[in-house]
Amino acid sequence: DALGPTITIGEILVEIMATDRGTGFLEPITLIGPYPSGAPAIFIDQCARLGGSAGIIACVGEDDFGRVNVARLRADGADVSAISTSPEFPTGSAFVRYRKDGSRDFVFNIARSAAAQIDLTAAARALIARSGHLHVMGTAFAIPGAIEIIEHAIAAIKARGGSISFDPNVRKELLGQSETRARFARLVDIADLILPSGEELFVAAGVEGEREAVHALFARNASEVALKRGANGSTVFTREGRRIDCPAFAVEEIDPTGAGDCFGGAYVACRRLGMPIEQALTYANAAGARNVTAKGPMEGAGTRAELDAFIAMTPGRST
């Protein structure tokens, strides 16, 4: 990471999950948590665990939910200097319960939590000024203050010759707003690497059909597209016309939350550490697969040694 750390911007949350499957929270049920969470936090934690230099701009409350997150990120090697503490708002949270069919019910406290209080603080400016890569998460578009910071970071990092990646995981309802759609389109226009999951590819490209959509993205600015296919693995397409498919690692899925964020954190970290696409993609698939084997959104994020051991368990697979 010669140019400086990979950074991201957005929500830090705790997740508290129902231990049993079922519908909603309308009677007393057994819950387990708090688990550190928030898509940008999961991404940056996996990035740091793999040995990539990594930092996050975020805000937590002056409470244990904030402490548990900051302690985890710090322990895993992330730069936490630009995580501010709100004296007024509690740390963001998400209560989640899985239904029998795999869909989820949520109770969120994000918009009126510390997570929505992120600001372009002196510490945030300092982190941006020495960073070499910005990873933008679509989820951050839900936080009004994130936009200004993202714009500042894009300008600063581009001026330094750094690069930008974009995970277009924007909630569909948000894309109904013309302002959000414009911001989304702008990110697609400037990102060097785009990491869509399933349908997000077509939303980002504005075109149906996998080949057509990938070509439409290369006609803009992207030089790499990493397409996530859940339990079917993933594919990287390059502007030069290469296609690298990577089968998934077979695992028992305990908790699917965070797979895409771990995939992205691992892929960006490995590419920035200088690995070729094939090797980075193997680590990314391993990171996503390993994460779904653990309860809790970032509990299965792996170090390089842990991912090497995980990969070696599958006959015929190695890095």
Closer residue to Mg ion (CB): 145 or 230:
230
For the record, the structure tokens of 78 come out as 């992330």
Q: How many CB atoms lie within 10 A of CB 148?
A: 13
Q: CA–CA separation, 198 vs 229, rounded Å?
A: 6
Q: How far apart are CA 4 and CA 130, in angstroms?
A: 6
Encoded one letter per residue, x for contact with Mg ion by CB under 5 A and - for no contact, window 212-251 reads ------------------x---------------------
Region near ligand ATP per CB under 6 A, out of 103-111, 147-155, 285-293, 303-311: 285-293
- Select 79 or 255, whichever has its Cβ closest to ligand ATP: 255
| Least Å from the CB of residue 246 to ligand ATP | 7
Give least dist CB 288 to ligand ATP, A: 2
285 vs 52, 262, 266, CA distance in Å?
Answer: 17, 9, 9
Show the DSSP H helices in the chain as ranges: 39-49, 64-75, 122-129, 144-159, 172-175, 178-190, 200-205, 210-218, 259-272, 277-292, 304-312
| 22-30, 70-78, 148-156, 287-295 -> range binding ligand ATP (CB under 6 A) | 287-295
- CB count within 10 Å of CB 14 equals 25
Least distance in angstroms from the C-beta of 246 to Mg ion: 16
Angle at CA of residue 179, ends 217 and 192, nearest 5° = 25
Q: Shortest distance, CB of residue 14 to ligand ATP, whole angstroms?
A: 17
Of 205-264, binders to ligand ATP (CB under 6 A) are 228-231, 233-234, 248-249, 251, 253, 256-261, 263
Residue ranges binding ligand ATP (CB under 6 A): 169, 197, 228-231, 233-234, 248-249, 251, 253, 256-261, 263, 285, 288-289, 292
